Structure 1
Amino acid sequence: MRNISMGERGRKVHGIMICVPYQGHLNPFVSLALKLASKGFAITFVHLEFLYRKLCDAHHANKTDVDLFSGARELGLDIRFTTMADCFPLEFDRDANFPEYWDTMVRDFPALADEFVGNIVSSEPDMLHFLVADTVYNWPAAVAHKYNLVNVSLWTQPALVYCLAYHWDLLEQNGHFPCKDDVPEEIKYVPGVESINTKDLMHYLKESQFASVANRLTRLIFEQAKMADFVLQNTVEELEPQTLAALHKYLPNYAIGPLNFSKNLPTNTVTTSLWSESDCTDWLGSKPPASVLYVSFGSFVHTNKQVLEELAYGLVLSGVNFIWVIRQGILGDGDTNALPSDSFQDAIQERGLILGWCDQIKVLSNPAVGGFLTHGGWNSTLESMWSGVPMICYPIGFDQPCNRKLVVDDWEIGVNLCEDYGSVDREQVAHKIKSFMNGGVSDKLKENASRLRQLVHNAVEIDGSSEINFDRFVKDLEAKIHAQN
């Protein structure tokens, strides 16, 4: 452990960390907080109040019982934990009302963040402060400038998605922001992106989503992102070298992922999971090696009953063993009955296990698991790569089409569930799953998955690229803070 980071005249350096309220952002933010504290920085980790309530409810705990960093403090790290309000009452369903929530967050949350950060800065005048905020917010640059804070932006998706969104003005000039929904075209003019088809762009760049809050937010957040002092990328340099090198020409850019697997960090006494987890270790232990397909659409995206029904019967027809995570709220319309019928449970018998949530890393690392049917969220993609598990990709929205391109086309560690996004047929699903799990995973796919598994493991070792980049970032951060104060 380093000595405590000090600025001029022995003033301690303190980071204020605020992430957007989703599982896929919370996990890497917590890991980054621990990494920074382990380097000697004081850290204040800020939860939105409703998210902290959800965390407590998931672990059947009182508000005072859940402390993500108690173990770290016992080891001597200076890491504090606090909450702040957003723009809605606790009982408001933010997932089911996504457009309303983010319209209001874009408009009203910046003032709350400004006041909150300002209060922390004024209450600790003897410290040198810096800000670590999620790139997906539209206020960090303005707040950092107001309080003379070094502005660190953490991006929790692949560098490819960052690069495309960063160059939204270039896409707009070439008629691809928005791009036509049903007219596939190759894009070869974005620095750092050799070629990408418009069908693989993020959904909020499409014509049908032009009026969406995600589309409007893209412009706002990347106007702010271009003013960041440092950008941390939750990826691995060897995975996206061309894209990262191109971005580095525009801003200080550090690939430090996968953050969730950083080495030598204090163990959390409480999981960061926002849902109660089921343990399926015994069930997996009863299955042969590489015989189980793990199925999950992650912690945030919504789908519809038709998709779930076709997938359910496709799983039945495939005859493979499977674990299927169907989280509460996956339908997004308040309907809690996600499965097609009670007869589905009878049809799967001992071959299938339906769960509300689980420890995904633990499941993927189990030798019984031979494949992962995934929406392709970035956390899920990294976790599958970490475990060397090939993927069947069914992207639903946001960054997932881009992630599919990386997994299937570039890295060749996965296959498509279907060729047309959104089109799901049970017979095709059954055929794809059956061939994939029963010898259909080619030797090349397995070799590539094994190779990339080693690559991401190597990156987080002491002499790995991500650790070297993180040490370089810490050195540059300290120099910037000292120069600015």
Structure 2
Amino acid sequence: MINLSTKLASKGFTITFVQTEFIHHSISKAHHHHLLSADFDIFTEARKSGLDIRYTTISDGFPLDFDRHLNGDLFWETMFRDFPDRVDEVVARTMKDEEESCFFIIADTLCSWPATIAKKYNMVNVSLWTAPATVFSINYHLDLLKQNGHFPFTGDGENHINYIPGVQSISTRDLMSYIQHPNIKPVLVQITLKGFDQEPLAESDCTGWLHSKPPGSVLYVSFGSFAQSNKQLTAELAHGLLSSEVHFVWIIRPDVVGENGIDDILPIGFEDVIKDRGLIVPWCNQNRVLSSPAIGGFLTHCGWNSIMESIWHGVPMICYPFYVDQPTNRKLVVDDWKIGINLCEGERVTREEVASKINVVMNGEKSAELKREIKKVSEKLHDSLGSGGSSERNFNRFVDDLKAKLCEKQK
């Protein structure tokens, strides 16, 4: 969203970036200072360059100390019911301050409220999809999955699906978690169905630390908050990292692991044992870390942003997906593009397997093979973003379409 905002501002648009107060507070807390008082460092720099970007926050309806992970169902129920009215207030206030302007709203595709608000205020509604096109097509054709008995999937074993437009043959095991097991997290199904009905930050000390390490010697480890709250998984990862004997940077957010922070989930004395071999930080500039020559692999939960950034910088991946689009993203990385490996083949992660897979990616013949393959994919990604590349052409076409829609609204 930040990158899109600055890109649009560079094309002459005025941008108001709206962040929830909770996320605003969480990032500030992770950095131990008032990071966002300057409206994001990147926005400050953008404004210095003459770009018109504003920043504001909005309440999600809960106090800052409310546990949104533990009370996920209540949180999303309230977001569905009450959050649109709060957005409506922000939109109305923004439009009042800029009476002569024509407006558009950009929100994640899985948000269910933008279309209604856009219609109310005669705005152009832009839906931003942040996962692979494969995941979009699967979601868009849930009716086909229902017709063929694959949503919810009630069969035994593994089936292969080859009837979804734009999607190659895919196993039911590689479908998004909320399709495979909709009853485990029903709110995820609700978010997806509602969404498709509508059809940076301060630097930690990792950079300097990375400069002191040999090329390709450091593993970058970063999972989402759900994974970090799994104490057994975190303990196995910790022991596996120790056994692998590689250097590593590990992102662990203290605010999601308990009152005592990382001490609640790491083995006793872990930080003393790793000394200069490993670095644990609450946050880092992921692009900057992945761009370091010291990074040789990325242990990831397979979020789409992480995958794209890893490909961009040519870093092979060790994949351990959790939910939503992550299982499908893993399939693309490991099975289709062959630029990563699975962390484990079974249901449970063991420290022995963690150490083994780390060494596969960081050393030896398989490591060299993965680096060769990801170099090919990375070159394609770079080409698409170059002058005249497909990404640049598509973005310019989007800007032209957006301007045309805005002109229609003014008539």
How high is the TM-score relative to the length of structure 2?
0.91
Q: Is the 8 A contact 1:95 1:332 kept in 2?
A: no
Q: Is the 8 A contact 1:376 1:404 kept in 2?
A: yes
Alpha-carbon distance, 1:93 to partner: 3.0
Deviations 1:409-451 (A, max 9, x none): 111100111113x411112222222233221434432111111
| Comparing 49-58 and 452-461, the one that deviates more | 49-58
Q: Which residue of 2 aligns with 1:240?
A: none
Deviations 1:2-55 (A, max 9, x none): xxxxxxxxxxxxxxxxxxxxxxxxxxx111111111111122211222222334
Gaps of 5+ in 1: 1-28, 227-270
Provide closer, same or farther for how the CA distance between residues 332 and 195 of structure 1 changes in structure 2, counting only shifts above 3 A: farther
Among 7, 11, 14, the alignment partner of 1:42 is: 14
Q: Is the 8 A contact 1:392 1:417 kept in 2?
A: yes
Among 299, 303, 321, the alignment partner of 1:377 is: 303
Alpha-carbon distance, 1:154 to partner: 0.8
| Comparing 375-384 and 54-63, the one that deviates more | 54-63
**Partners in 1 of 2:293 and 2:168 — Cα distance?**
36
Q: Which residue of 2 aligns with 1:449?
A: 374
Q: Is the 8 A contact 1:132 1:152 kept in 2?
A: yes
Q: Is the 8 A contact 1:329 1:336 kept in 2?
A: no
Alpha-carbon distance, 1:330 to partner: 4.6
**Equivalent AA in structure 2 for residue 203 of structure 1:** S
Alpha-carbon distance, 1:164 to partner: 1.1
CA RMSD of aligned residues (A): 2.4
Q: Which residue of 1 aligns with 2:3?
A: 31
Q: Is the 8 A contact 2:301 2:320 kept in 1?
A: yes
Are 2:382 and 1:409 equivalent residues in the alignment? no
Deviations 1:48-91 (A, max 9, x none): 22222334443612874445523322322222222222222233
Q: Which residue of 2 aligns with 1:117?
A: 91
Provide closer, same or farther for how the CA distance between residues 82 and 302 of structure 1 changes in structure 2, counting only shifts above 3 A: same
Which residues in structure 2 correspond to 1:13-162 (within 5 Å)? 29-57=1-29, 58=31, 60-61=33-34, 64-68=37-41, 69-162=43-136
**Equivalent AA in structure 2 for residue 449 of structure 1:** I
Alpha-carbon distance, 1:389 to partner: 0.7
**Equivalent AA in structure 1 for residue 366 of structure 2:** V
Are 2:410 and 1:438 equivalent residues in the alignment? no
Among 277, 281, 297, the alignment partner of 1:351 is: 277
Question: Across the two proteins, how many residue pairs are aligned to each other?
Answer: 408
Among 461, 467, 471, the alignment partner of 2:386 is: 461
Q: Is the 8 A contact 1:301 1:397 kept in 2?
A: no
**Partners in 2 of 1:458 and 1:332 — Cα distance?**
44
**Equivalent AA in structure 1 for residue 164 of structure 2:** V
Q: Is the 8 A contact 1:96 1:334 kept in 2?
A: no
| Comparing 168-177 and 343-352, the one that deviates more | 343-352
Q: Is the 8 A contact 2:317 2:341 kept in 1?
A: yes
Match of 1:370, SS?
strand
Alpha-carbon distance, 1:183 to partner: 3.0
Provide closer, same or farther for how the CA distance between residues 54 and 350 of structure 1 changes in structure 2, counting only shifts above 3 A: closer
Identity of aligned pairs, percent? 52
Among 228, 246, 267, the alignment partner of 1:320 is: 246
Among 467, 472, 476, the alignment partner of 2:397 is: 472
Q: Is the 8 A contact 1:301 1:330 kept in 2?
A: no
Q: Is the 8 A contact 1:156 1:378 kept in 2?
A: yes
Alpha-carbon distance, 1:175 to partner: 1.7
**Partners in 2 of 1:67 and 1:362 — Cα distance?**
16
How high is the TM-score relative to the length of structure 1?
0.78
Among 137, 143, 152, the alignment partner of 1:163 is: 137
**Equivalent AA in structure 1 for residue 166 of structure 2:** G
Alpha-carbon distance, 1:122 to partner: 4.0
**Partners in 1 of 2:359 and 2:54 — Cα distance?**
49
Provide closer, same or farther for how the CA distance between residues 305 and 89 of structure 1 changes in structure 2, counting only shifts above 3 A: closer
Deviations 1:147-184 (A, max 9, x none): 22111011111111111111122212222222249632
**Equivalent AA in structure 1 for residue 271 of structure 2:** Q
Gaps of 5+ in 2: none
